[in-house]
Amino acid sequence: MNKTMWMRAVLAAVLAVQAGCALAAARFADQDVQRGAYLARAGDCVACHTAPGGKPFAGGLKMVMPIGAIYSTNITPDKTHGIGSYSFADFDRAVRHGVAPGGKHLYPAMPYPSYARITPQDMHALYAYFMQGVPPDPTPNRKPDMVWPMTIRWPLAIWDWLFVRDTTFTPDPKQSAQYNRGAYLVEGLGHCGACHTPRGLFFQEKALSAGGPNGKLFLTGGTVEHWYASNLRSSCLQKTLSAQDFALLLKTGSANNFTVAGGMTEVIHHSTQHLAPDDLLAIGTYLKALPPEVSAQVASTQPDPAAVQRGKALYDQHCVACHQPTGQGVPAAFPSLVGNPSVRCLNPTNAIHAILAGATTAVTASAPAPMVMPPFGTQLSDQQVADLVTFIRTSWGNAAEPVSAEQVKELRRAIAGR
C-alpha cells in the first residue's frame, strides 16, 4: 500500500468513527430525552442513586436493610461501572423486573415491584434519558456490607415469584383520565406504596395497588427510618386534605396545617415539586378517590390530667415561642398544631420523633431556606416527652390518644441505634 492509499484508508476510518459517534449521539430524539428526564424526576431516581457529595446517578448511597447494608448502583452511561452497555431489553429487565444483565437479581430496595407498572413508551423515554441525557461517571460500585449466606442472590428469584406482579398499568375505563393518570403515578413511577404501605415478614409490600390482592392495605401507612409514612387513606388525613391540598403538599411540603417531615422532605425536594400541576392534581384526585381505611381516630383512653398539666408547662417553656399559645403557629414559618394530622392522627410516631430528634421542612423553589426544629431529646426525659406529646394531642380541639413513656423510650432507642 503506497502512502496515498494509506492516508485515504486512515481518513476513511476516522470519518467512519465520526459518523458512528454522530449516529450514536443522535439515536434518541431530544423530546424523548426530555420526557425521560421528567419521568426520572417522577420516579425520584436521583435520590437513591446519588451518594452524599457524589455525582448524580453515580450510586454509592448506603441503604440499611434487615439483612445488612447495600449501596445503590451507578446508573450513569459509563460502560465500565455504569449501565452504558445495557441494551433496552437489559434496562427494562432491571428496572421493571429487578434482574440485571447476567441474571443478577436486585435487592427489593429497588422499587421494581412498583416500576413493573411503567408503560413501554415511558420505559423507552427513560432509557433515552439515561443513555443520552446523563453524563457518564466512572465511580465503581460498592459491594454490600453483608456476610454469607445473605450475599447469595438466587433466593431473590423466589421472593420475586411470591411477591412481584409483572403487569404494566392498565387504565380503568370506569374512571376519568385524571384519576387514571394519578393512579399510574402513585402505583408506578412514584412508588408511593414503597413507603406508605405496611410490609410483611419478608419485607414485601402487603399490597401493590388498591385494586389488587390485599388492596385494602395499600397506602395505609408504613415505617421508614423510624418516621411514620402516613396512612394516606385514614379518615383523619382524608378529612384534612382535599385533592388540591394533596397537590399543594407535594409541591411545597405544607398544606392545611400539615407539614411533612423525615424522608418525605427529600421526595418533595428531588421529585414532586418538579412535577406539572396537572400531574400533582391527578395524584390528589386519585388519593381522594380511594376507599377510606376505617379505623378509630377518636381517643378511647382519657389522658391523665396531671400529665396534661405537666405537658402544658413543658410546652410553655420549650414550644410556645414558635407554635404560639394557641397552637396556631406562624403561617409560612412554624406549623400549626391545631388539627395537624401529625399530631392528632392515630399514630404518634412523628410527633415524638420531631421532639426527640428535631425536624426540617422541605427545600423547594418557593422555600429555599428550610425551617429547622431543634431536637429536645437530650433535654427531656421519656416521661417529659410523653407528657408534652399528650398535651398537644389533647389540646385546642385535638382529641387523640395519650402517649406513654414506654412508647417514647422505644422510639428513642430505635433512633439512637440507627
Asked if pLDDT for residue 137 goes beyond 60, the answer is yes
Burial class (CB in 10 A: 0-12, 13-18, 19+), 126: buried
Residue type, 27: R
The tally of CA atoms less than 13 A away on the side-chain side of residue 353 is 22
Amino acid identity at 204: Q
Where exactly does CATH 1.10.760.10 map onto the chain? 305-416
pLDDT digits (tens, 9 = 90+) for 49-101: 999 999 999 999 998 877 778 899 999 999 999 999 999 999 999 999 999 99
Per-residue pLDDT reduced to its tens digit, 365-394: 988 888 899 999 999 999 999 999 999 999
Q: Which fold has domain 305-416?
A: Cytochrome Bc1 Complex; Chain D, domain 2 (1.10.760)
Instruction: Please name which of 163, 169, 159 lies closest in space to residue 211, comparing C-alpha atoms.
Output: 169
Where is pLDDT greater, at 344 or 14?
Answer: 344
Domain 27-163, architecture per CATH: Orthogonal Bundle (1.10)
Q: Is 196 exposed, middle or buried (0-12, 13-18, 19+ CB in 10 A)?
A: buried
Interval 285-332: pLDDT, tens: 999 999 887 654 555 678 899 999 999 999 999 999 999 999 999 987
- Give the tens place of pLDDT for each residue, 208-226: 999 888 999 999 999 999 9
Tell me how far the alpha carbon of residue 61 is from its chain's centroid.
14
What does the alpha-carbon distance between residue 308 and residue 199 come to, in Å, rounded to a whole number?
34
353-294-247 Cα angle (round to 5): 65
Least confident of 13-17, 34-38, 44-48, 66-70: 13-17
Given 3-state DSSP classes, what are the helix, strand and coil percentages for the chain, each rounded to the nearest 5? 45, 10, 45
